[in-house]
Amino acid sequence: LIRDGIVITEVKLASLKRFKDDVKEVGSGFECGITIENYNDIKIGDEVEAYIMEEVPVK
């Protein structure tokens, strides 16, 4: 979660919803709702940056 250009917390996404349904993904341009795990101090203007972290085996 980024506020005023500063990362204020790094947490997992608890849920992603489209209308009332839990979904795995939402297409670009569509509205959705998210719940962030163990964090509820969201303010107007905050930005959510999401990514998947994968372990890559060393060759």
Judge contact between 32 and 16, C-beta under 8 A.
yes
pLDDT of 51: 86
pTM (two decimals): 0.67
Closest C-alpha to 16, from 31, 39, 35, 42:
35
**Strands annotated E in 1-59:** 2-3, 6-7, 13-18, 21-22, 33-36
The number of distinct structural domains making up the chain is: 1
DSSP annotation of 24 reads S
Expressed as residue numbers, the domain containing 12 is: 1-59
Tens digits of residue pLDDT in 4-50: 999 999 988 899 999 999 999 999 999 999 999 988 899 999 999 98
pLDDT of 50: 85
Phi then psi for residue 29, to 5 deg, are 90, -5
